[in-house]
Amino acid sequence: MKLALVGDIGGTNARFALWRDEQLESVSVLATADFDTPEAAIEQYLDEQGVAPGSLGAVCLACAGPVSDAQFRFTNNHWRINRDGFCQRLQIDQLLLINDFSAMALGMTRLAEGEGLQVCPGESDASRPFVVIGAGTGLGVGTLLAQADGSWTALAGEGGHVDLPIGSAREAQLWQVLYRQLGHVRAEDVLSGNGLLVLYRAMCELDGVAPELLGPAEITTAALAGDATASAVLEQFCCWLGRAAGNNVLSLGARGGVYIAGGIVPRFAEFFCHSGFARCFSDKGCMSDYFTGIPVWLVTAQYPGLMGAGVALQQQNQG
């Protein structure tokens, strides 16, 4: 396949790389806020790499949001894509747009040794679906299916926007605070970067504590340093992620296993592995035993979404 470009574009950052011989080259991360359009960001990236206009055979972009054929509107940033205008400006014949967590799911098929930590032990049933879920600017959820010919299918969805699951009286009280603030409470409203701050403020209100921390990074740092309120917030974050992941397993029959991806959880990997995630993951009443033996991994790979975009492009051109 001729030289291609792959991108993984979220709400805050756009990651780009060249795709050659089924490998990533020259990865660069750009802030979406610094560019009016994705075309402008890609043009700067290609100029920095010394790649002339018209040199690319194809582009695959993993995009946060529901992907359509002709027009795409990003969910968590100001960028838009018109397929025809994009291809004309960048002088390419093939543009493949896929959901960002479809790309993330496909990236799980190329994880190298040491790019994941096992959170829950078990034996993967590769004939069943895998769930990929991850918190970043938003909450992404993808489904991965192995095919008989050795290829993989990633099912697109918007699972981050489901209702926040409630599994205890304490969580019901927190939900009431969140509902007063937000109205409809989605999983993403808590299980995301900004959601960590939303959860912190809600917990402070519920417990009558004056909020002092101003952002998710401060909350994480304080929690790891032993601050009681911040630690409780981070613990609740892990528990709610467990409930959300478990709900997806039941809905899909995902005995292949679960990959925890995204940029947030790896920042407190040890805390996460010792948190209530595993307990809440399988806390499903009469169906709790269903989770016995389902493995869960925390993904620590640096650019799995980019790798997945390359896999998607490779599979399309070989199909």
pLDDT, tens only, 244-294:
999 999 999 999 999 999 999 999 999 999 999 999 999 999 999 999 999
Confidence check: pLDDT of 214 > 80: yes
Number of domains in the chain: 2
What per-residue confidence (pLDDT) applies to 86? 92
138 and 68 in one domain?
Answer: no
42 is in an annotated binding site: no
255 and 174 in one domain?
Answer: yes
257 is in an annotated binding site: no
Domain with 240 in it? 116-300
97 and 40 in one domain?
Answer: yes
122 and 85 in one domain?
Answer: no
167 and 249 in one domain?
Answer: yes
Confidence check: pLDDT of 298 > 80: yes
10 is in an annotated binding site: yes
The SS3 of residue 82 is strand
Instruction: Say if CB 138 and CB 192 are below 8 A apart.
Output: yes
Q: Measure the CA angle with vertex 100, ends 138 and 111; round to 5°.
A: 105
- The stretch 154-168 carries a mean pLDDT of 93
192 and 170 in one domain?
Answer: yes
The pLDDT-based confidence of 54 (bands split at 50, 70, 90) is: confident
310 and 246 in one domain?
Answer: no
181 and 88 in one domain?
Answer: no
| 164 found inside a domain | yes
Supply the DSSP symbol for 91: T
Q: How far apart are CA 290 and CA 70, in angstroms?
A: 42
Predicted model pTM: 0.92
98 and 126 in one domain?
Answer: no
Amino acid at 219: I
| 311 found inside a domain | yes
242 is in an annotated binding site: no
8 is in an annotated binding site: yes
Helix residue spans in 120-227 (DSSP H): 169-182, 193-207, 216-224
CATH of the domain at 271: 3.40.367.20
79 and 151 in one domain?
Answer: no
Q: How far apart are CA 146 and CA 266, in angstroms?
A: 26
The SS3 of residue 11 is coil
CATH of the domain at 66: 3.30.420.40
Q: How far apart are CA 202 and CA 79, in angstroms?
A: 31
| 110 found inside a domain | no
260 is in an annotated binding site: no
CA-nearest of 319, 303, 313, 315 to 57 is: 313
138 and 64 in one domain?
Answer: no
66 and 178 in one domain?
Answer: no
